[in-house]
Chains A and B, each alone.
Chain A
Amino acid sequence: MLVLAIDTATPAVTAGVATLAGDDVTVLAERVTLDARAHGELIMPHARDALQEAGVALGELDAIVCGVGPGPFTGLRAGIATAAALGHALGLNAYPVCSLDAIAAGVDTGEPFLVVTDARRREVYWAAYDASGKRVDGPCVQTPADLGHTVAAGDGGRLYADRLGVRMIEPYYPATSGLVAAASAALLAKAAPGPLTPLYLRRPDAVEPGARKRVTA
């Protein structure tokens, strides 16, 4: 089956086209730009360019996969809004995947590991995986600290390797192959996808006003 994958949960603006046959994911084309401030501008052009390079028309797609974070809010929403509108207009299912799971799907190590991404404000998003790559804890957001693991993937691990006490492994960002692999069970089952709900993990910053300030002394 032909799948379009989209992720904007990290500084990587990622779109790619892949085929999924059994457990085999074959990436036909992919566009990635590292720019934490261009998600809204680039995600749709990237998807269009990847489709063009893969020689796949939008109408030939069987499904869409979209990373739903956790990730800094504004950029994250660019990818999700794109996937939601594409799914709506094309009449396709759009499958949400945890963006940390998409990174984990690209990890090749024989031991348990963390996936850590940058949550800004000196915090990280993280999840823990067992040696087989199954998520066993998270996703969470917190200040970087020793989480009891020795290896970590994800760009957040690189930023805070010392405080996390980890050795870095690849990949650093979600990629098309990992996004499709993380969604493969749902894709193959042709299950009805859950809603494309962002994993914000934080409440909006907003304070209720206190007593009205007087303008006269």
Chain B
Amino acid sequence: MSRIIMGIESSCDETGVGLVRLHDDGTVELLADEVASSVEQHARFGGVVPEVASRAHLEALVPTADRAFAAADLKLSDVDAIAVTAGPGLAGALLVGVAAAKAYATALDVPLYGVNHLAGHIAVDTLEHGPLPSPCLALLVSGGHTQLLRVDDIATTITELGSTVDDAAGEAYDKVARVLDLPYPGGPPIDKAAKQGDPAAIAFPRGMTGPRDAKFDFSFSGLKTAVARWVEGAERRGEEIPVNDVAASFQEAVADVLTAKAVRAAKESGIGTLVISGGVAANSRLSALARERCAEAGIDLRVPRPRLCTDNGAMIAALGAHVVAAGVGQSALDISANPALPVDVVSI
């Protein structure tokens, strides 16, 4: 008998409620994916304001859930389990989703699963491309995270190979956008400008690629500073800033490092599948370069469609379904949201 899993996401600035069907053969089918975003309320601050995000989650949660059930043509009483993002993320924002999830689970008398947001970004790919081979490699890139992970079992066993030692890739995009007077969030406008620019125009540094650097860690802080220095130098000389060339060269440096390290990790561990997910996965240059390099190395590349790559409830429902299918025990009703939940803890 198939089961319906409701997923609730509130770790950053998107309130997401997703519904999936877990089939008896273990496949997971997407039924609804509703998101309410507070991104516009943060734009003038140049980054997510936690209190603004928390307030928006509280307002949006029940209406978003309503929309999800309407979209799937399901009733709340059809739900067989609730999954919720328990971390990592913003403390106050996470708490809204976790509190609501506990109430839904209690009222509907179904098990509750507090799950890991980062694992959700990987699990969401199964909605589009089917079960994940074991093992596979995952590259998570977004405004909040940049991580290279080995996935032996999406429901239980994830190991971090490397992560950023400073800024997340998406954060670097936001900061560089500010330097170039482009709007927040910086990903889409930089991607757009870069398409008209020359990626080889400026040789920006590739962070953490020296012989003594950690093989699979990332650093984007130096790159961000190098872009600012270059722009300030041109301003001082009274030159017009070639925004498109700067954007293209910056984006090339990011995509180059991310894909080079991911492909190297796959080769060294003999892993044949790479999943790229997170908000930055929608970046056109990153996906193009990844496709090129994976094809060369004989690696099967999986990138969920952009709508699934950004934060949403469907990814949490999908992960919840895999956790349920694996027979993992449910979470207690007194669980805490954990802003620093480690990536190897898939459910709590």
The CA of A200 and the CA of B93, in the complex, are separated in Å by 16
The answer, among A44, A200, A204, for a CB contact under 8 Å with B102, is A44
Query: A-contacting residues of B (Cβ < 8 Å)?
Result: 44-46, 49, 51-52, 54-55, 58, 61-62, 65-66, 76, 91-92, 95-104, 106-108, 178-179, 225, 228-229, 232-233, 333-337
List 19 interface pairs A-B (beta carbons < 8 Å), by A numbering. Answer: A41-B334, A44-B106, A45-B333, A47-B106, A58-B107, A77-B58, A80-B58, A81-B99, A81-B103, A84-B62, A88-B62, A88-B66, A198-B55, A204-B51, A208-B45, A209-B178, A215-B232, A216-B228, A216-B233
Residues in A88-110 with C-beta less than 8 Å from chain B: 88-90
Q: Are A45 and B95 in contact (CB under 8 A)?
A: no
- List, in ascending order, chain A residues with CB within 8 A of B91's CB: 74
A122 within 8 A of B: no
Give the residue name and chain of the A residue nearest to B101 (CB). A85
Give the residue name and chain of the A residue nearest to B332 (CB). A45
Instruction: Name the residue in A42, A83, A88 with the highest tally of chain B Cβ atoms < 10 Å from its Cβ.
Output: A88
Residue interface mask A191-215, B partner, CB < 8 A = 1 = 0000000101000111111001011
- List, in ascending order, chain A residues with CB within 8 A of B101's CB: 85
Q: Are B108 and A40 in contact (CB under 8 A)?
A: no
- List, in ascending order, chain A residues with CB within 8 A of B51's CB: 73, 204-206
Residues in A28-81 with C-beta less than 8 Å from chain B: 40-45, 47-48, 58, 73-74, 77-81
The CA of A45 and the CA of B103, in the complex, are separated in Å by 9
Contact flag A86-B49 (CB < 8 Å), given A216-B229, A216-B233? no
**Contact-size category for A:** 35 or more
Q: Are B103 and A78 in contact (CB under 8 A)?
A: no
| 5 residue pairs, one from A and one from B, having the closest CB atoms | A89-B107, A85-B103, A204-B51, A81-B99, A85-B100
Query: B-contacting residues of A (Cβ < 8 Å)?
Result: 40-45, 47-48, 58, 73-74, 77-86, 88-90, 198, 200, 204-209, 212, 214-216
Closest CB in chain B relative to A215 CB, distance in Å: 4
Q: Are A216 and B107 in contact (CB under 8 A)?
A: no
Closest CB in chain B relative to A57 CB, distance in Å: 10
The CA of A206 and the CA of B232, in the complex, are separated in Å by 27
Closest CB in chain A relative to B112 CB, distance in Å: 9
Q: Are B95 and A78 in contact (CB under 8 A)?
A: yes
Q: Are B107 and A86 in contact (CB under 8 A)?
A: yes
- List, in ascending order, chain A residues with CB within 8 A of B178's CB: 209, 212
The answer, among B45, B54, B92, for a CB contact under 8 Å with A209, is B45
Q: Are A206 and B52 in contact (CB under 8 A)?
A: yes
The CA of A80 and the CA of B337, in the complex, are separated in Å by 16
Q: Are A45 and B61 in contact (CB under 8 A)?
A: no
